[in-house]
């Protein structure tokens, strides 16, 4: 049995949209480009043909990859979970750095969705692991490269 990989409902929707785009737009476009390049004759020295075939290979690979991810996905819609105030997968957490008082906001997401610039951290990251199961008012200690950092959990939101 293969293990299910957690993904937020928004993350699954983004993957489905990309899959739709690849199947309905990119794939037909590259097939047309291959047909046009074939019409130009000798394929051995036809750069357009080889570029189009390479792009087709990339598109088909990405389609297979997304289908695989979606088939192994455990889609978690955090808005359907009833807010217990606990930090769970998909929750958005507002933290205060105990040392500086700076506030930061993170959403805990699946590995494929993680994007630190967007404030989305992977469930497997040290900070997410330190936060899971804690509640508002708790202190989470995270082993950082420069030593242990402490964060107070200011608010937990299920958006």
Domain stops at, among 42, 57, 76: 76
Question: Measured between alpha carbons, how far is residue 60 from residues 27, 30, 48, 57, 131 in Å?
Answer: 8, 11, 18, 5, 38
Residue range 111-139: mean pLDDT, rounded: 94
**pLDDT for 14-28, tens place per residue?**
999 999 999 999 999
Residue range 62-84: mean pLDDT, rounded: 91
Domain with 57, as residue range(s), is: 5-76
Domain stops at, among 43, 76, 109: 76
* H/E segment holding residue 94: strand 92-97
**pLDDT for 108-124, tens place per residue?**
999 989 999 999 999 99
* Residue 110 belongs to domain with CATH number: 3.10.50.30
Shared-domain flag, residues 83 and 58: no
Shared-domain flag, residues 105 and 72: no
Shared-domain flag, residues 67 and 89: no
Q: Which residues contact 10 (CB under 8 A, 6 or more apart)?
A: 113
pLDDT at 63: 97
* Residue 34 belongs to domain with CATH number: 1.10.287.180
pLDDT at 45: 80
Q: Express as a percent the part of the chain with pLDDT over 70.
A: 99
Shared-domain flag, residues 26 and 95: no
**pLDDT for 88-100, tens place per residue?**
999 999 999 999 9
Residue 135 has pLDDT above 80, yes or no: yes
pLDDT at 2: 61
pLDDT at 12: 95
pLDDT at 6: 93
Question: Measured between alpha carbons, how far is residue 43 from residues 17, 31, 38, 47, 142 in Å?
Answer: 34, 15, 7, 8, 57
Q: What is this structure's pTM?
A: 0.81
Work out how many domains the chain is built from and give that number.
2
Q: How many CB atoms lie within 10 A of CB 30?
A: 21
């Amino acid at each position: 049995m293969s293990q299910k990989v957690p993904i937020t409902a928004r993350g699954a929707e983004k993957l489905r949209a990309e899959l739709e785009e690849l199947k309905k737009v990119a794939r037909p476009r590259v097939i047309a480009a291959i047909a046009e390049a074939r019409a130009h004759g000798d394929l051995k020295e036809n750069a357009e043909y080889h570029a189009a075939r390479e792009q087709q290979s990339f598109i088909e690979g990405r389609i297979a990859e997304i289908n695989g991810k979606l088939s192994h996905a455990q889609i978690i819609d955090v808005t359907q979970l009833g807010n217990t105030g606990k930090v769970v997968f998909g929750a958005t957490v507002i933290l205060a750095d105990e040392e500086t008082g700076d506030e930061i906001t993170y959403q805990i997401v699946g590995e494929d969705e993680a994007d630190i610039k967007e404030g989305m951290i992977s469930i497997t990251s040290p900070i997410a692991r330190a936060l899971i199961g804690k509640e508002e008012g708790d202190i989470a200690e995270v082993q950082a490269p420069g030593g242990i950092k402490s964060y107070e959990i200011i608010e937990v939101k299920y958006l």
